[in-house]
């Protein structure tokens, strides 16, 4: 990644990017506090180069980054990679950012202590200060803010042990939130569902997507998302 590709050359923050609504909320939170990230860092796995659990392909993530006017760094890992492999690949991926002036790495974690602790420890070991702009914020408030703010997302995958497969492919809106069963976090923080953010006031243009059929296998049900031609 060359210096000319960096939109915010004075920023010292990179943002771990899943493409979901929480990632977008983290981006907005950073920007609102005057700490706009310099670059997005996404991880894809397997031969299809998809975001793990989301099932969203790299072309959609690239289109998203373009629409947000932010550079994207991609980490590729084998499907089912061990933690050790993941940590080594992440170190190789983000180490060059340090030479570009990045000192902190942000993530959109909300309240899962074990996930936050693991991520914070890993980032510190890799020489970066961890930042959690959404940490401790109320899930329902964040969900309502996302929907009420005109942001748009599609539910790309659901964990069928927590939520019905029919929720995959739906628009993440007030109706979706009202239909969630009791006990399912409105931001899906416990993994009940994942989203792909595709439009709203932060986007220079919407990411136009087509929602295909439902793909099932194991406990996850995924909506086949692709860029609209």
pLDDT in tens, 194-224: 999 999 999 999 999 999 888 887 899 999 9
pLDDT band for 64, please (50, 70, 90 cuts): very high
Given the DSSP bridges, would you call strands 209-217 and 193-199 parallel, antiparallel or unpaired? unpaired
In the prediction, which pLDDT does 8 show? 58
Report all structural domains of the chain as residue ranges with CATH numbers, in order of start. 3-131 (3.40.50.620), 150-227 (no CATH)
| In contact, 155 and 223? CB cutoff 8 Å | yes
| In contact, 160 and 219? CB cutoff 8 Å | yes
* Maximum Cα–Cα distance across the chain: 48
**Mean pLDDT score, 177-185:** 95
**Mean pLDDT score, 117-141:** 94
């Amino acid at each position: 990644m060359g210096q000319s590709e960096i939109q915010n050359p004075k920023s010292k923050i990179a943002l771990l990017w899943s493409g979901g609504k929480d990632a977008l909320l983290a981006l907005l939170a950073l920007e609102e506090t005057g700490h706009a990230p310099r670059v997005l860092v996404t991880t894809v796995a397997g031969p299809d180069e998809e975001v793990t659990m989301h099932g969203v392909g790299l072309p959609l993530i690239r289109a998203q980054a373009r629409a947000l006017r932010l550079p994207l760094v991609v980490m590729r890992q084998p499907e089912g990679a061990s933690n050790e492999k993941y940590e080594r690949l992440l170190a190789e991926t983000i180490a060059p950012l340090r030479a570009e002036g990045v000192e902190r790495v942000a993530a959109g974690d909300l309240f899962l202590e074990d996930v936050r602790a693991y991520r914070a420890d890993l980032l510190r070991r890799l020489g970066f200060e961890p930042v959690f702009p959404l940490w401790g914020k109320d899930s329902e408030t964040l969900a309502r803010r996302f929907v009420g703010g005109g942001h748009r997302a599609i539910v790309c995958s659901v964990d069928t042990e927590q939520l019905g497969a029919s929720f995959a492919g739906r628009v993440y809106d007030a109706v979706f939130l009202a239909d969630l069963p009791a006990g399912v976090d409105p931001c899906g923080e416990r993994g009940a569902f994942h989203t792909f953010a595709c439009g709203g006031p932060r986007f220079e243009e919407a990411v136009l997507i087509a929602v295909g059929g439902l793909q099932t296998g194991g406990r996850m049900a995924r909506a086949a998302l692709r860029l609209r031609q």
